[in-house]
Structure 1
């Protein structure tokens, strides 16, 4: 399974696959995913945590001590907490983002869901999220959709939607760049 999908290959894919198999045995795939999503959210919010995760300056012991405090405060325990501690001890914490993405893909595949990467300028409300899920469900042949929403104010407005190998970019930034390019060509 790890070799089938480029997203789930390499070192990060092997770690994610091992975690997925362990979570499957313990019937905890959703709990682990929720904890990993929580940690991913913490990474997105904290520049200090990103620096701790990515910087080779910190030793494994320093990273493990700091990470343990973060996990305890965030309430991340169980398999996900143990997993994050193991990858820290193995000096693989720098790849945690790829591991989380690969784990999400494995869970989605197991559930028969399709993952959609959505980039928006501002957070979506529940009504818009459900409408987007419905639209994507009709495009994917009725499969359940797992939305991974990223907020990026730089796109100004609109959406960027990636489902599998397909991408639709209807962001205002892209449209403005197209107009700018067209105006330069018209000269």
Structure 2
């Protein structure tokens, strides 16, 4: 998000940070607002019309949502509709980002940030490995409520509330595939601690001491703390592959053998 939308988003996120109530409730209500606005293009058009006074847009937002959301959520919504957005879509995308920030804040307050980072990665892997489930959660033709209910039957009681909330929102597939959106949410979690996410693929699970050494080495390389998401994959045979953002360092034995085979084949 750039330009005037980026500036408005800063104000919206500041309103989230200033909220006094339960961050988890704020996140859920903001996601509800996003769902309503996605289905009401005429309302979005008015709320993002630069020729309409901010006071009028705040009044309209209160009229539509006031009886359905708490005071904190209404404050964040007021900040959003008072801002200027380059497009109608930027308003709802900004409110979704605010909802994610609220869920992350709730996890942070509960001491569950580490769990949230790891669980989002594991949920993404579960969905990616099941073709039928992947098709369902990424299908925009299936109602978001139905996809959320499906995810709840699979995940409820096994992950934190914030993880389930973010996975459910990712299933709305507003800005891309389920995996893409969930990965973006994971980056938001990592950013709260100013650290990077690294996917580490190994043939066997690493001991705690090995994980600590690897995390320290990566932190030294990138100049920031790194959270490791470990993938145990026997097919790598030995060695290790590390992905940080778009950078991949593949030192697995399977890759080395494949390179050697290609060289021998000429």
8 A contact 1:162–1:168 mirrored in 2: yes
Alpha-carbon shift at residue 136 of structure 1 (Å): 1.6
C-alpha distance in structure 2 between counterparts of 1:73 and 1:17, whole Å:
25
Once the two structures are superposed, the pairs formed by residues 115-134 of structure 1 within 5 Å of their partners are 115-134=197-216
Structure 2 counterparts to residues 1-187 of structure 1, below 5 A: 2=1, 17-23=97-103, 26=106, 28=108, 31=112, 34-35=115-116, 37-38=118-119, 40-45=121-126, 47=130, 49-55=133-139, 58-77=142-161, 79-88=162-171, 90=172, 92=174, 95-141=177-223, 143-185=224-266
Judged with a 3 Å threshold, the aligned counterparts in structure 2 of structure 1 residues 118 and 33 are, in CA distance, closer, same or farther, namely: same
Shift of residue 130, structure 1, vs aligned partner = 1.0
Deviation at 1:170, TM superposition (A): 0.7
Is the 2:136–2:142 contact (alpha carbons within 8 Å) kept by the matching residues of 1? yes
Distance, in Å, in 2 between the alignment partners of 1:32 and 1:131 is 21
**CA-to-partner distance for each residue in 1:53-99, whole Å, 9 max, x for gaps?**
2456755453233223234342542x4434444454x4549733222
RMSD after superposition: 3.6
1:160 match: secondary structure? strand
User: How big is each residue's C-alpha offset from its partner over 1:98-121, in whole Å with a ceiling of 9 and x where there is no partner?
Assistant: 223212222323322232222212
Once structures 1 and 2 are overlaid, which stretch shifts more, 147-156 or 29-38?
Answer: 29-38
Task: Give the structure-2-normalised TM-score.
Answer: 0.51
Q: Measure how far apart 1:184 and its partner are.
A: 1.7
Is the contact between residue 121 and residue 186 of structure 2 (CA under 8 Å) also seen in structure 1?
A: no
Point out where structure 1 has 5 or more consecutive residues left out of the alignment. 4-10
Normalising by structure 1, what TM-score?
Answer: 0.68
More relative contact order, 1 or 2 (CA 8 Å, 6+ apart): 1
Aligned residues between the structures: 173
